[in-house]
């Protein structure tokens, strides 16, 4: 399995930035942060028109925790700033059981 260094998160919001949702892009996982940053403008072009305001951010993936991440935590501020991070729930951290594969961490 190829290691993932970055995940591209794209969020579409209403014109007031009050209602936001994740938007699907053709490619969202990358082997390097540089590849993610380079792909970002193309991904924004792919989702143009799907929301009034679109914001995107490349999230660093810690290789040591790659299999443990189980959610993306994000918030879009009224000024359009996207705060986002990959997270591990306390349930996963407390469990020693095998963890299922995460769809968002696989190359598409």
> Mind listing the pLDDT tens digit for each residue in 31-87?
999 999 999 999 999 999 999 999 999 999 887 776 788 888 999 998 999 999 988
What is the spatial distance between Cα 19 and Cα 5, in angstroms, rounded to a whole number? 29
pLDDT at residue 26 in the model: 93
Instruction: Output the pTM of the full model.
Output: 0.77
pLDDT average, residue stretch 77-103: 68
Considering Cα of 44, then 25, then 15, then 84, what sign does the dihedral take? negative
pLDDT average, residue stretch 15-24: 94
pLDDT at residue 63 in the model: 76
- DSSP-assigned letters across all residues of 53-106: EEEEEEEE--GGGTTT--EEEEEE-TTSPEEEEEE--HHHHH--S--PPPGGGS
What is the spatial distance between Cα 98 and Cα 45, in angstroms, rounded to a whole number? 38
pLDDT at residue 39 in the model: 96
Domain ranges of the chain: 6-99
pLDDT at residue 98 in the model: 47
pLDDT average, residue stretch 12-20: 93
How many residues appear in the chain?
A: 108
């Amino acid at each position: 399995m190829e290691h993932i260094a970055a995940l591209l998160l794209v969020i579409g919001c209403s014109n007031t930035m009050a209602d936001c949702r994740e938007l699907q892009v053709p490619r969202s996982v990358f082997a390097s942060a540089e590849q993610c940053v380079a792909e970002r403008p193309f991904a924004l072009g792919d989702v143009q028109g799907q929301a009034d305001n679109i914001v995107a951010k490349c999230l660093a993936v810690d290789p040591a925790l790659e299999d443990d991440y189980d959610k993306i935590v994000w918030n879009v501020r009224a000024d359009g700033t996207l705060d986002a991070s990959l997270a591990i729930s306390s349930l996963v951290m407390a469990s020693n059981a095998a963890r299922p594969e995460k769809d968002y961490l696989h190359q598409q």
